[in-house]
Amino acid sequence: MIVTRFAPSPNGPLHLGHAFSAIVVHGLAMARGGRFLLRIEDIDGARSRPELADAFRADLAWLGLEWEEVAAQSTRLPAYEAAAEQLRALGLLYPCACTRAEVAAAAREAGPDGPLYPGTCRGRAVDPSGEVAWRLDMTEAVRQAGPLEWVDERAGPQKAAPEMFGDIVLLRKEAPASYHLAATLDDATDGVTLVTRGMDLFAASHVHRLLQALLGLPVPRWHHHALLLDEEGRKLAKRRGSPSLADRRLGGEDGRELAAALRAGRLPAGISLGEGLDSVP
């Protein structure tokens, strides 16, 4: 039996791209007699809005989906700190006082998450009690972990290459944990056996496989699905004001009909499906 999850962040309303993702995750679980979990990823500082979690539940019910809800990220902060302490004990974390602007100015190349951190604070005397982020010493982490692989159901076996991210932040200044650390730990805690998410997070799985090895966590399989794209070929996004599911729901649209259309590949005008998935379960 597989266990997979839909894990939205309450920093903006769900849109059609989220509906598609939830339907893919739910479909995979149901097709294999598995479990479909809902996890609210609510540690994004002041951007998290608790009232949106209720809207998310209403949106999923409107689509005709049933789920098991697991603990929200905000209840798991001690686990994130314990994992950080484990990595510190391995000599893999160091404090960084650089601002985003300083990183961008000093970076010589780009990584999957943006400007690649050049290691400015690695080996420097930085007061850890100050306003710092904690970064993973990627070179040493990869050395300790050794060669790793992970498997995506669509792309097949992958050799882990987390080096492309450089010394990533695992504990942020404005939040108790980065997405990389929190999602990896949460999936292990929730017993997730199939990490299902969009193709935009494919590269992140290289890092998550490394963290699993360093922290002694179970290794799931992955399924990265295609993204819904707008008329300009960009993925639908909250920050670009993609129409919300709540507006559709409150406007009287039939959510089950929408879900059926998405499963059948009948997309609204102006919406297309990107690469990475040839059908919806």
Q: Which of 104-108, 144-148, 257-261 has the lowest mean pLDDT?
A: 104-108
> Between helices 50-62 and 255-263, what is the axis angle to 10°?
70
Reply yes or no on whether the pLDDT at 31 is more than 50.
yes
The predicted model gives 257-277 an average pLDDT of 87
Single-letter residue type at 268: P
- Confidence band, pLDDT 50/70/90 cuts, at residue 278: very low
Residue 131: per-residue pLDDT:
84
What is the pLDDT, as a whole number, of residue 279? 44
Domain assignment present for residue 15? The answer is no
Residue ranges making up the domain that contains 137: 76-182
State yes or no: pLDDT of 275 exceeds 80. Answer: no
Examine residue 137 and state whether it is found in any structural domain, yes or no: yes
CA angle 142, 148, 153 (to 5 degrees): 135
Please indicate, yes or no, if residue 240 is contained in any of the structural domains: no
β pairing state of 114-115 and 110-111 = antiparallel
In a domain, 132, yes or no: yes
Does the pLDDT value for residue 281 go beyond 60? no
* Predicted confidence (pLDDT) per residue in 186-213, tens digit: 999 999 999 999 999 999 999 999 999 9
The CA distance from 48 to 128, in Å, is: 26
Q: Tell me the mean pLDDT in the region 240-266.
A: 91
What is the band of 277 on the pLDDT scale with cuts at 50, 70, 90? very low
Mean pLDDT within 162-188? 94
In a domain, 254, yes or no: no
- Contact at 8 Å (CB) between 194 and 4? yes
pLDDT at 238: 67
* Predicted pLDDT at 173: 80
The per-residue pLDDT for 210 is: 98
| Unique residue bearing structure tokens 């935009």 | 200
Instruction: Please list, residue by residue across 61-89, b when 16 or more beta carbons sit within 10 angstroms of its beta carbon and e when fewer do.
Output: ebbebebeebebbeebeebbeebbeebee
Instruction: Report if residue 156 sits inside a domain.
Output: yes
Residue 116, domain CATH = 3.40.50.620
In a domain, 153, yes or no: yes
Q: What is the pTM of this model?
A: 0.93
Residue 85 has pLDDT above 80, yes or no: yes
Q: Which two tokens stand for residue 26?
A: 């739910």
What pLDDT sits at residue 276?
55
For the cut 70, the answer to whether the pLDDT of residue 178 exceeds it is yes
Could you report the per-residue pLDDT of 120-158, keeping only the tens digit for each? Answer: 999 888 877 778 999 999 999 999 999 999 999 999 999
The answer for 13, left when phi > 0, alpha when psi is -120 to 50, beta otherwise, is beta
pLDDT, mean over the chain = 92
How many domains does the chain divide into? 1
Residue 277 lies in a domain: no
